[in-house]
Copies of this chain bind each other. A is one copy, B any other.
Amino acid sequence: MKILLKDAAILYWDVTLKVIQNGYVAIEDNLIKSVGSVSDLHLLEWQPDRVLSLPGRAIMPGLVNTHNHAAMSLLRGYSDDVPLQTWLERDIFPAEDCMTPEDVYWGSLAAILEMQKSGTTTFADMYFYMDKTAEAVLESGMRASLAKGMIGLGPNTQEYLLGSREFFDTYHLAGHGRIQVMLGPHALYTCPPDFLNEVIDLASELGTGIHIHVSETLKEVEDSYRQFNKSPVKVLEELGLFEHQVLAAHTVHVDDSDQKILVEKQVGIAHNPVSNLKLASGVAPIASLLAQGGLVSLGTDGAASTNTLDLFAEMKLAAWLQKNYTGDASAINSEQILRMATIDGAKVLGFDRVGNIAAGFKADLIVIDLNQAHLTPHHNLASLLAYSVQGKDVETVIIDGNIVVENGKSTRIDEKRVVAEMLERGLRIKRDATEGMTEQRKQL
């Protein structure tokens, strides 16, 4: 399919952020064929199948959400306003115990629908029943980096490794490369060094990356000092983990020496500001990491700890927090925020030629109508996109050359059905988790 988008402001990455005021994007199959000014369109000898004239709109690279547990959308609002341990142990774990593979499919599909409609074209996930999430990704036209969550404690560690290997063999590069598979050891405190060494070996063998939670809470860091006499970052470095492509989620409690390691090893960081505040985990030193040349991206974490998967909300919060955290309103700017949410997100996930609007890149882009009162005047396009747009301002979404959302409606997913499934499954999970689990589940 050949699609021509024209008459819009095109925002793209050169060395810095650039804007073509009255531009076009030509898409052929899953790639961007060419980008330019509408005045040069006559030079393009090319016949599109479809033309979208988009005056008053901005076209920007699709957003990349680098840390999610998509199926947790089923637990949105299930437990709020309680301390982390209560949240996890009293509420979330028992509810997750009641989730079936079909629940994970529908929860993932609902999350993908929410993400696509709010401008996210690629996400990274770590959870269980990951083949069900993969199924939802394939059907929905989404791009994703998927990792089966692995726990390195208890009797099932070899099964986890085997499961990850099988998942890799089945899904890596599926959907014409839309899915990439990473390994997902949950965290240092649930995956001891011996197990992580096996994960590293497997990553080497498969030639893939590792998605892991790192230094999310102060307790995690204190426990690491108690057990290893060093920080989680230092332990992981010494294990050689960072010689591989690593996606480190959170990195809230990282001291200067940890930061130096993360920057030097170009560890991909998924910053999840909403989740970190909501669970009172803290504020990650993102401005500092960026100033040192760190590779930072944005994630939402699961909807149970974020309540929305709108990456535009995370962008705003990431900016506001760093300004206040550093006491310097100039500590981070809208261009850095947009970079974290697009091209640097794709880089963190190791997707090749994703996250920019440029010839040869994957055709992942979103269209936003700027002719709305809350997006005027047009003093500064980067500021509007980073600080004023909300998820629902996204009008049209293209992933891998396919229009998956048009005029705010999904072209791929039956939203009515998703809503009905979510309501019913949400009720059932709550009932099962609170009114007594089955004998089988109690024994888990």
A residues bordering B, Cβ < 8 Å?
73-78, 80-84, 87, 110, 113-114, 117-118, 274, 276-283, 307-310, 313, 316-317, 319-321, 323-324, 326-334, 371-374, 376-380, 383-384, 387-388, 390-393, 415-416, 418-419, 422-423, 425-427, 430
Contacts and interface: CB of A to CB of B under 8 A. Distances in A.
Contacts of A422: 373, 376-377
A320 B317 contact: yes
Given A81-B334, A280-B328, A373-B415, 20 more contacts: A73-B376, A74-B377, A75-B379, A76-B376, A81-B329, A81-B333, A110-B373, A113-B373, A274-B316, A278-B319, A279-B329, A280-B323, A281-B324, A308-B316, A308-B374, A308-B387, A373-B418, A377-B422, A377-B426, A391-B392
List 4 A-B pairs, minimum CB-CB distance, nearest first: A377-B426, A277-B320, A392-B392, A77-B383
Given A280-B329, A323-B277, A391-B390, A376 B423 contact: yes
B327 A280 contact: yes
Given A78-B380, A377-B423, A427-B377, A372 B415 contact: yes
A83 B317 CA distance: 18
A387 B323 contact: no
A326 B298 CA distance: 24
Nearest to A308: B388
B324 A379 contact: no
Contacts of A281: 324
Mostly, the A contact residues are: helix
Contact of A423 (B378, B392, B393): B378
A307 B383 contact: yes
Contacts of A80: 333-334, 380, 383, 387
A136 to B, nearest CB: 12
Nearest to A81: B333
A253 to B, nearest CB: 13
Contact of A280 (B83, B326, B372): B326
B282 A376 contact: no
A418 B373 CA distance: 7
Contacts of A308: 316, 374, 387-388, 390
Contact of A379 (B277, B327, B430): B430
Contacts of A331: 280
20 contacts: A73-B373, A76-B379, A76-B388, A77-B388, A78-B380, A87-B329, A278-B324, A280-B326, A280-B331, A281-B324, A307-B388, A308-B374, A308-B390, A313-B390, A317-B320, A373-B419, A373-B422, A377-B422, A377-B425, A377-B426
Contacts of A326: 280
A391 B75 CA distance: 22
Contacts of A279: 323, 329
B324 A376 contact: no
Contact of A390 (B277, B383, B390, B430): B390
A114 B327 CA distance: 30
Contacts of A313: 313, 316, 390
Contact of A426 (B110, B278, B378): B378
A213 to B, nearest CB: 18
Contacts of A426: 376-379
Contacts of A333: 80-81
Residue of A279, A324, A383, A415 most packed against chain B (CB within 10 A): A324
Contacts of A418: 373, 376
A142 to B, nearest CB: 14
Contact of A81 (B113, B310, B332, B388): B332
Contacts of A378: 77, 423, 426
Nearest to A426: B377
Contacts of A110: 373, 376
